[in-house]
Structure 1
Protein backbone atom coordinates (compact mmCIF):
# COMPACT_ATOMS: atom_id res chain seq x y z
CA UNK A 1 0.00 0.00 0.00
CA UNK A 2 1.42 3.36 -0.97
CA UNK A 3 0.55 6.55 0.87
CA UNK A 4 1.26 9.74 -1.08
CA UNK A 5 1.35 13.11 0.69
CA UNK A 6 3.77 15.64 -0.88
CA UNK A 7 6.07 17.76 1.31
CA UNK A 8 4.29 21.05 0.53
CA UNK A 9 0.85 19.87 1.67
CA UNK A 10 -0.87 22.10 4.22
CA UNK A 11 -0.91 20.85 7.82
CA UNK A 12 -4.68 20.33 7.98
CA UNK A 13 -4.65 18.18 4.83
CA UNK A 14 -1.67 16.19 6.16
CA UNK A 15 -3.61 15.44 9.33
CA UNK A 16 -6.69 14.32 7.37
CA UNK A 17 -4.47 12.19 5.13
CA UNK A 18 -2.72 10.59 8.11
CA UNK A 19 -5.99 9.78 9.85
CA UNK A 20 -7.54 8.34 6.69
CA UNK A 21 -4.42 6.32 5.90
CA UNK A 22 -4.31 4.86 9.41
CA UNK A 23 -7.97 3.88 9.26
CA UNK A 24 -7.61 2.26 5.85
CA UNK A 25 -4.43 0.45 6.85
CA UNK A 26 -6.13 -1.00 9.94
CA UNK A 27 -9.10 -2.18 7.86
CA UNK A 28 -6.91 -3.93 5.28
CA UNK A 29 -5.38 -6.78 7.27
CA UNK A 30 -3.86 -8.43 4.21
CA UNK A 31 -1.56 -5.49 3.37
CA UNK A 32 1.98 -6.67 4.00
CA UNK A 33 4.01 -3.68 2.77
CA UNK A 34 3.25 -0.02 3.42
CA UNK A 35 5.27 2.83 1.95
CA UNK A 36 4.75 6.48 2.84
CA UNK A 37 5.98 8.70 0.03
CA UNK A 38 6.48 12.45 0.04
CA UNK A 39 8.30 12.82 -3.29
CA UNK A 40 8.98 10.75 -6.39
CA UNK A 41 12.34 9.48 -5.10
CA UNK A 42 10.39 7.54 -2.44
CA UNK A 43 8.70 5.60 -5.24
CA UNK A 44 11.78 4.09 -6.87
CA UNK A 45 10.60 0.99 -8.77
CA UNK A 46 13.51 -1.24 -7.72
CA UNK A 47 13.08 -0.31 -4.04
CA UNK A 48 9.33 -0.99 -4.16
CA UNK A 49 9.91 -4.40 -5.79
CA UNK A 50 12.58 -5.17 -3.18
CA UNK A 51 10.22 -4.32 -0.31
CA UNK A 52 7.39 -6.37 -1.82
CA UNK A 53 9.71 -9.36 -2.31
CA UNK A 54 11.04 -9.48 1.25
CA UNK A 55 9.47 -12.07 3.52
CA UNK A 56 7.34 -10.26 6.09
CA UNK A 57 8.14 -10.49 9.79
CA UNK A 58 5.58 -9.77 12.50
CA UNK A 59 6.11 -6.36 14.05
CA UNK A 60 8.64 -5.20 11.45
CA UNK A 61 8.09 -1.66 10.20
CA UNK A 62 7.54 -1.63 6.45
CA UNK A 63 8.99 1.82 5.97
CA UNK A 64 11.53 3.95 7.77
CA UNK A 65 9.07 6.83 7.47
CA UNK A 66 6.39 4.70 9.08
CA UNK A 67 8.07 3.21 12.14
CA UNK A 68 4.87 2.05 13.86
CA UNK A 69 4.60 -1.70 14.17
CA UNK A 70 1.28 -3.43 13.75
CA UNK A 71 0.45 -6.51 15.79
CA UNK A 72 0.21 -9.67 13.79
CA UNK A 73 -3.30 -11.11 13.75
CA UNK A 74 -3.63 -14.76 12.88
CA UNK A 75 -6.81 -16.64 13.00
Structure 2
Protein backbone atom coordinates (compact mmCIF):
# COMPACT_ATOMS: atom_id res chain seq x y z
CA UNK A 1 0.00 0.00 0.00
CA UNK A 2 1.50 3.31 -1.07
CA UNK A 3 1.25 6.47 1.03
CA UNK A 4 0.53 9.69 -0.85
CA UNK A 5 3.14 12.40 -0.15
CA UNK A 6 0.34 14.73 0.95
CA UNK A 7 -0.27 12.47 3.98
CA UNK A 8 3.25 12.98 5.30
CA UNK A 9 3.23 16.69 4.43
CA UNK A 10 -0.05 17.36 6.26
CA UNK A 11 1.10 15.32 9.26
CA UNK A 12 4.30 17.37 9.47
CA UNK A 13 2.19 20.55 9.41
CA UNK A 14 0.05 19.23 12.26
CA UNK A 15 3.09 18.16 14.27
CA UNK A 16 5.41 21.12 13.72
CA UNK A 17 3.16 24.08 12.93
CA UNK A 18 -0.14 23.05 14.51
CA UNK A 19 -1.98 24.09 11.32
CA UNK A 20 -4.48 21.22 11.72
CA UNK A 21 -6.31 19.79 14.74
CA UNK A 22 -6.87 16.44 13.05
CA UNK A 23 -6.40 14.56 9.79
CA UNK A 24 -8.62 11.75 8.50
CA UNK A 25 -6.95 9.35 6.07
CA UNK A 26 -8.66 7.00 3.65
CA UNK A 27 -7.32 4.05 1.67
CA UNK A 28 -8.15 4.57 -1.99
CA UNK A 29 -8.55 0.93 -3.02
CA UNK A 30 -8.42 1.58 -6.79
CA UNK A 31 -5.10 3.41 -6.55
CA UNK A 32 -3.87 1.23 -3.67
CA UNK A 33 -2.71 4.20 -1.64
CA UNK A 34 -3.53 6.15 1.51
CA UNK A 35 -4.81 9.68 0.88
CA UNK A 36 -5.91 12.65 3.02
CA UNK A 37 -9.70 12.73 3.22
CA UNK A 38 -10.29 15.60 5.68
CA UNK A 39 -8.26 18.23 7.50
CA UNK A 40 -9.54 19.75 10.74
CA UNK A 41 -8.97 23.43 11.45
CA UNK A 42 -6.96 24.26 14.60
CA UNK A 43 -10.08 25.73 16.25
CA UNK A 44 -12.14 22.57 15.63
CA UNK A 45 -12.51 20.22 18.55
CA UNK A 46 -13.22 16.62 19.36
CA UNK A 47 -16.90 16.81 18.31
CA UNK A 48 -16.04 17.86 14.76
CA UNK A 49 -13.35 15.20 14.60
CA UNK A 50 -15.70 12.40 15.73
CA UNK A 51 -18.29 13.43 13.10
CA UNK A 52 -15.71 12.92 10.33
CA UNK A 53 -15.38 9.20 10.97
CA UNK A 54 -17.99 7.28 8.95
CA UNK A 55 -20.21 4.87 10.89
CA UNK A 56 -19.68 1.97 8.49
CA UNK A 57 -16.27 2.51 6.88
CA UNK A 58 -12.71 2.14 8.15
CA UNK A 59 -10.34 5.10 8.38
CA UNK A 60 -7.03 6.12 9.91
CA UNK A 61 -6.91 9.40 11.75
CA UNK A 62 -4.48 11.58 13.64
CA UNK A 63 -5.74 13.86 16.40
CA UNK A 64 -3.76 16.55 18.23
CA UNK A 65 -5.21 16.29 21.73
CA UNK A 66 -4.54 19.30 23.97
CA UNK A 67 -5.01 19.06 27.73
CA UNK A 68 -3.92 20.55 31.05
CA UNK A 69 -1.72 18.59 33.44
CA UNK A 70 -2.49 18.50 37.16
CA UNK A 71 -0.02 21.35 37.56
CA UNK A 72 -2.02 23.46 35.05
CA UNK A 73 0.59 23.07 32.33
CA UNK A 74 -0.82 22.94 28.78
CA UNK A 75 0.33 19.85 26.88
CA UNK A 76 -0.60 17.96 23.77
CA UNK A 77 -0.31 14.40 22.53
CA UNK A 78 -0.61 13.19 18.97
CA UNK A 79 -2.97 10.23 18.76
CA UNK A 80 -3.15 7.76 15.89
CA UNK A 81 -6.60 6.22 15.60
CA UNK A 82 -7.30 3.05 13.65
CA UNK A 83 -11.07 3.30 13.11
CA UNK A 84 -12.59 -0.03 12.10
CA UNK A 85 -16.32 -0.17 12.91
CA UNK A 86 -17.96 -3.57 13.25
CA UNK A 87 -20.39 -2.64 10.46
CA UNK A 88 -17.69 -2.04 7.84
CA UNK A 89 -16.94 -4.56 5.09
CA UNK A 90 -14.68 -7.48 6.05
CA UNK A 91 -12.39 -6.78 3.07
CA UNK A 92 -12.02 -3.16 4.15
CA UNK A 93 -11.15 -4.18 7.74
CA UNK A 94 -8.52 -6.59 6.43
CA UNK A 95 -6.92 -3.97 4.15
CA UNK A 96 -6.78 -1.36 6.93
CA UNK A 97 -5.47 -3.85 9.50
CA UNK A 98 -2.72 -5.15 7.21
CA UNK A 99 -1.60 -1.65 6.15
CA UNK A 100 -1.72 0.04 9.55
CA UNK A 101 1.82 -0.53 10.82
CA UNK A 102 3.45 0.47 7.55
CA UNK A 103 1.35 3.63 7.36
CA UNK A 104 1.98 4.51 11.00
CA UNK A 105 5.75 4.26 10.45
CA UNK A 106 5.46 6.90 7.71
CA UNK A 107 4.10 9.37 10.27
CA UNK A 108 7.06 10.11 12.52
CA UNK A 109 5.88 11.57 15.80
CA UNK A 110 2.84 9.51 16.76
CA UNK A 111 2.73 9.32 20.55
CA UNK A 112 -0.32 7.21 21.38
CA UNK A 113 -2.27 4.67 19.33
CA UNK A 114 -5.96 3.86 19.70
CA UNK A 115 -7.88 1.01 18.06
CA UNK A 116 -11.61 1.70 17.89
CA UNK A 117 -14.55 -0.31 16.56
CA UNK A 118 -17.28 1.95 17.94
CA UNK A 119 -17.42 5.58 19.19
CA UNK A 120 -17.28 4.61 22.88
CA UNK A 121 -13.76 3.19 22.39
CA UNK A 122 -12.47 6.63 21.38
CA UNK A 123 -14.57 8.77 23.68
CA UNK A 124 -13.01 11.99 24.95
CA UNK A 125 -12.48 10.30 28.34
CA UNK A 126 -10.38 7.62 26.64
CA UNK A 127 -8.14 10.34 25.17
CA UNK A 128 -7.82 11.99 28.58
CA UNK A 129 -6.91 8.76 30.36
CA UNK A 130 -4.36 7.72 27.71
CA UNK A 131 -2.74 11.18 27.45
CA UNK A 132 -1.46 11.33 31.03
TM range (shorter): 0.5 to 0.7
- Matching residue of 2:108: 29
- TM-score under structure 2 length normalisation: 0.37
More strand by share: 2
| Shift >3 Å, 4+ stretches | none
What residue ranges of structure 2 are gaps of 5+ in the alignment? 1-79
Higher relative contact order (CA 8 A, sep 6+): 1
Aligned residues: 53
Query: How far has the Cα of 1:17 moved from its partner?
Result: 1.0
- TM-score under structure 1 length normalisation: 0.60
Q: Of the two, which has the highest radius of gyration?
A: 2
What residue ranges of structure 1 are gaps of 5+ in the alignment? 54-75
Query: How far has the Cα of 1:19 moved from its partner?
Result: 2.4
Name the Cα RMSD after superposition: 1.4
